[in-house]
Structure 1
Amino acid sequence: MKILIVGSGGREHALAWKAAQSPLASEVLVAPGNAGTAREPKIRNCPVAATDIAALIDLARRERVDLTIVGPEAPLVAGIVDRFTEEGLACLGPTAAAARLEGSKSFAKAFLARHGIPTARHETFSDQAAAARYLKDHPGAHVVKADGLASGKGVVVAEDEATALAAATAMLNGEFGEAGRRIVIEERLIGVEASFIVLACGLDYVAFPTSEDHKRRDDGDRGPNTGGMGAFSPASAVDAALEIVIRREIIEPTLRGLKADGHHYCGFLYAGLMLTADGPRVLEYNCRFGDPETQPIMMRLRSDLVALTQAAVHGRLGGETLEIDPRPALCVVLAAPGYPADPRTGDMIAGLDAADPQTKVFHAGTRELDGQVLSSGGRVLGVTSLGATLEEAREHVYRRLGTIALDGALYRHDIGRRPYGVKP
């Protein structure tokens, strides 16, 4: 089989790397890919943008692609699966209608309320005065979210009314363009965050290992929200009993709700959860794999990714099971200076060719020029490792990070360390 992975980030590098290991895959194409995917065996980059659906269809036809796996959210929300399906091309992912779960926070909140799935108290606004009145009438900490896609950055955790009002005003005044013309304001939930990702086809699904990411840029969960500065798997706070609760109260009602609303959901479904004292609550849905959660999860996945995705696309997911490496895995993101507000690009990266069998360096924002790897985005690399323990995986990753040189690079030093887990 020839597989096409759509996207250029660390998630897509990890998916392509895992897909290339499948005996079913003769070649894996990545559009557009990055400097890391260009250097992998059995993987070839194709210079087609992830959002150019017409060109991706032409590519799939020309290369006789057997299965396309969509990495990022933007093409899913734009209807890539609908277009591929109309052309008779197999493509893993939800339809544009179902992808509104991620494409619109207000749509997702209405879905959660309609189907009785637990989430935070919330309201939706497109008017600044109405938002200000709501915040005045509901004192306390809030989370302000741009309604549309904002690359994981359209979220502000506000400890007080003034901060929440400033965030709401900035978004409604165009900070995130059309994505912020409508906002959701919700109560701030207290607890531990976790990511629960499944591959679903209708009501059938298989669950990947739990994971947890670190959204804040700086150590100690400080600084601005980002697309993710690191992740580890399994999540520290999710045991077998809690996983059963998450499946029963979150995942299965979500799939039933989608079916009841007329959506046949086929693809990855990511529930971002807050594990509160009153049980798990949905913070958000993503209609694709998380980034950087994909990196440690793919390191732990022993099952054939191509066989799994093929089973989902052809409606044969029922009865499938996953084989998972019992060892924990951890990923630390190395970001460009200025990330997330104004990341610098075009810097040379040294040390990538060092031999280290303990780690895998997944590329995110990189490109190659005259044999030299340059930074090309905010999140540049994701250094990932397995370990007998989480602490051992951390040691492998941070040792490898010490051998990579990118002028002014940022990365957190406390990934995998939380108050409830390993102490800093």
Structure 2
Amino acid sequence: MRILGIGETNDLAAMYHGFVRRGHAVRVFVADPACADVFAGMLDFCDDWERELGWVREAGEDGLVLFESATRGELQDRLRREGFQVIGGSALGDRLEADREFGQQVLRDAGLKTAASHRFTDYAAATRFLREHPGRYVLKFNGADGARTRNFVSEMEDGCDVLALLSLYAARAAAGEAVDFVLMQHVEGVEVGVGAYFNGREFLQPACIDFEHKRFFPGELGELTGEMGTIVSYRGATRLFEAALAPVAPLLREGGYVGYINVNLIANADGLWPLEFTSRFGYPGFAICEALHEEPWEAIFRRMLRRDGLAIATRRDFACGIVLSVPPFPYRHGYEALSKGAPICLRDSLGASDREHLHFAEVARLDGQLVTSGATGYVGVATGVGATVESANAEALRIARGVVVPNLRYRRDIGERVARGDLVRLQSLGWYDSPLSLRMHLHPAMA
């Protein structure tokens, strides 16, 4: 195949590299100059993706344009109209993720309950609202490319903590700075995601269930990073899929969506409460899902584009993914001085098959040495697969321990809360439809 990858920060670098290792031709466009060196020495890059379209078209059915973000949907729609095969999303997908109010309305129309959500475009209005309606809220900024570290989950019952944070944001805002965010009523329960691949007409099966761990430190402490690790399975998601994703298939079909889509939810005794759409590949979600695939990405993509089948061959196990990072992740400030260019070494204990479970992200090859690159210190993700959450976690940790980088950090408790109660509770609520396989004997430091 000939694959043209288009994105901002080269988030799909590990996927592209897999294509190259399996004999496919790949060219990558990276819009963010700070990430121009991600996978340098390991991939072929272009500085003008439009000049590469002829190269893609010459390959016919073996030509593919692959998008990694939910910010170029109109471009994807245009390329499809021009006859190109495109996987990623669509303009509709961009709106589902970036415009949280719209995404919530779509899910209400699908029959789900939604928590009260209020949109604001200035801090003063939000401050007045909180003073008049005190309570726990979740602050989320609109826009698919917004910094996740600015989002905030209130801990105080009267919302005084989010009120104080908004005052800080307002004081530091530049003159004329545009803001767009929502305050969503806080809902207690099990946080869970369900995702699947849509081929423009139908969903491929099986769907996957996931449990993200978004905070930086073990025990769900620290800033919201986007994701520090996740438990994934392709078994047990049927009821969640039928409730949250299947009803939006007609809308996705009408909107020309082709790619992966996920809905994050809270499940409790009152039902399912959708939080947000992810209308693109998840990071590190794609790598963790890959650990469970029994066929390569190109086989799945061909099936999506040709619409000649709806089944994906997957393992029946759990997969655990652990994000590996160096300072100042999840921020950009100070990366050049702190960690950029640091050597990455692999222990001899990692065999060739083990290294298949390392999905590097912000790295480059310089004079034969693997080093950190990019903009934030997101080194990559270590994955492990097992019949239980415990064994998947143990395998991922074994892989992670084989990576040596100065000041490397990662969480060791990915899956702990899933094994301690989330899956059991989800099944008791009627939303998990697979036999439980949960054991997690915790390291003393985690207990």
Interval containing the TM-score (normalised by the shorter chain) = 0.7 to 0.9
Given that 1:126 and 1:172 are in contact with CA atoms closer than 8 Å, whether structure 2 keeps it comes out as no
1:69 to 28, 47, 66: 66
Return the TM-score normalized by structure 2.
0.79
Residue 346 of structure 1: aligned partner: 340
Unmatched 5+ residue regions in structure 2?
422-437, 443-447
Given that 2:20 and 2:26 are in contact with CA atoms closer than 8 Å, whether structure 1 keeps it comes out as yes
- Is 1:150 the counterpart of 2:121? The answer is no
- Higher mean Cα deviation, 8-17 or 196-205? 8-17
CA deviation after TM superposition for structure 1 residue 30, in Å? 4.1
Determine the C-alpha separation between the residues in 2 that align with 1:335 and 1:177.
34
Residue 336 of structure 1: aligned partner: 326
Q: Against the structure 1 CA distance between its residues 287 and 406, is the aligned structure 2 distance closer, same or farther, given a 3 Å change threshold?
A: same
Helix, strand or coil at the partner of 2:77? helix
Q: Against the structure 1 CA distance between its residues 388 and 253, is the aligned structure 2 distance closer, same or farther, given a 3 Å change threshold?
A: closer
Determine the C-alpha separation between the residues in 2 that align with 1:229 and 1:177.
34
Determine the C-alpha separation between the residues in 2 that align with 1:392 and 1:291.
22
Determine the C-alpha separation between the residues in 2 that align with 1:130 and 1:196.
34
- Is 1:98 the counterpart of 2:88? The answer is no
2:315 to 322, 325, 329: 325
CA deviation after TM superposition for structure 1 residue 253, in Å? 1.9
Determine the C-alpha separation between the residues in 2 that align with 1:122 and 1:194.
19
- Is 1:140 the counterpart of 2:127? The answer is no
Residue 279 of structure 2: aligned partner: 287
Residue 358 of structure 1: aligned partner: 354
After superposition, give the CA deviation of every residue in 1:255-306 in whole Å (9 maximum; x if it has no partner). Answer: 23445xx523222111122222222221110111211121121010113432
1:245 partner letter: R
Determine the C-alpha separation between the residues in 1 that align with 2:93 and 2:387.
39
Helix, strand or coil at the partner of 1:248? helix
After superposition, give the CA deviation of every residue in 1:294-333 in whole Å (9 maximum; x if it has no partner). Answer: 112101011343233233334x26x411211123221111
Residue 45 of structure 1: aligned partner: 43
CA deviation after TM superposition for structure 1 residue 144, in Å? 0.3
Q: Against the structure 1 CA distance between its residues 80 and 369, is the aligned structure 2 distance closer, same or farther, given a 3 Å change threshold?
A: farther
Determine the C-alpha separation between the residues in 2 that align with 1:249 and 1:298.
25
After superposition, give the CA deviation of every residue in 1:325-372 in whole Å (9 maximum; x if it has no partner). Answer: 123221111112122233624141332374333352111111232222
Determine the C-alpha separation between the residues in 2 that align with 1:279 and 1:256.
23
1:413 partner letter: R
- Higher mean Cα deviation, 321-330 or 345-354? 345-354
Determine the C-alpha separation between the residues in 2 that align with 1:305 and 1:143.
36
CA deviation after TM superposition for structure 1 residue 374, in Å? 2.3
Residue 123 of structure 1: aligned partner: 118
Determine the C-alpha separation between the residues in 2 that align with 1:414 and 1:9.
28
Determine the C-alpha separation between the residues in 2 that align with 1:109 and 1:95.
18
Residue 3 of structure 1: aligned partner: 3
Determine the C-alpha separation between the residues in 2 that align with 1:181 and 1:307.
42
1:46 partner letter: D
Q: Against the structure 1 CA distance between its residues 112 and 392, is the aligned structure 2 distance closer, same or farther, given a 3 Å change threshold?
A: closer
Determine the C-alpha separation between the residues in 1 that align with 2:83 and 2:172.
39
Unmatched 5+ residue regions in structure 1?
50-54
Given that 2:2 and 2:64 are in contact with CA atoms closer than 8 Å, whether structure 1 keeps it comes out as yes
Given that 2:7 and 2:67 are in contact with CA atoms closer than 8 Å, whether structure 1 keeps it comes out as yes
- Is 1:168 the counterpart of 2:166? The answer is yes
Residue 299 of structure 1: aligned partner: 291
Determine the C-alpha separation between the residues in 2 that align with 1:136 and 1:192.
29
Determine the C-alpha separation between the residues in 2 that align with 1:175 and 1:303.
48
Determine the C-alpha separation between the residues in 1 that align with 2:92 and 2:54.
25
CA deviation after TM superposition for structure 1 residue 18, in Å? 5.6
1:98 partner letter: G
CA deviation after TM superposition for structure 1 residue 202, in Å? 4.1
Q: Against the structure 1 CA distance between its residues 416 and 8, is the aligned structure 2 distance closer, same or farther, given a 3 Å change threshold?
A: farther
Residue 52 of structure 1: aligned partner: none
1:199 partner letter: Y
Helix, strand or coil at the partner of 1:368? strand
Given that 2:385 and 2:392 are in contact with CA atoms closer than 8 Å, whether structure 1 keeps it comes out as yes
Return the TM-score normalized by structure 1.
0.83
Q: Give percent identity, aligned residues only.
A: 24
Q: What does 1:19-418 correspond to in 2, within 5 Å?
A: 19=19, 26-32=24-30, 45-48=43-46, 55-62=48-55, 64=58, 66-74=63-71, 76-77=72-73, 79-148=74-143, 149-160=145-156, 161-170=159-168, 181-206=179-204, 207-234=206-233, 240=236, 243-258=237-252, 262-314=254-306, 316=307, 319-341=309-331, 342=333, 344=335, 345-352=339-346, 354=348, 355-356=350-351, 357-359=353-355, 360-376=357-373, 377-418=376-417
Determine the C-alpha separation between the residues in 1 that align with 2:91 and 2:84.
16
Given that 1:35 and 1:363 are in contact with CA atoms closer than 8 Å, whether structure 2 keeps it comes out as no
CA deviation after TM superposition for structure 1 residue 87, in Å? 4.2
1:96 partner letter: A
Determine the C-alpha separation between the residues in 2 that align with 1:233 and 1:122.
28
Determine the C-alpha separation between the residues in 2 that align with 1:343 and 1:118.
43
- Higher mean Cα deviation, 29-38 or 148-157? 29-38
Determine the C-alpha separation between the residues in 2 that align with 1:171 and 1:287.
28
1:272 partner letter: N
Residue 429 of structure 2: aligned partner: none
Determine the C-alpha separation between the residues in 1 that align with 2:296 and 2:131.
53
Q: CA RMSD in A?
A: 3.2
Regions of 4+ moved over 6 Å:
33-36, 173-180
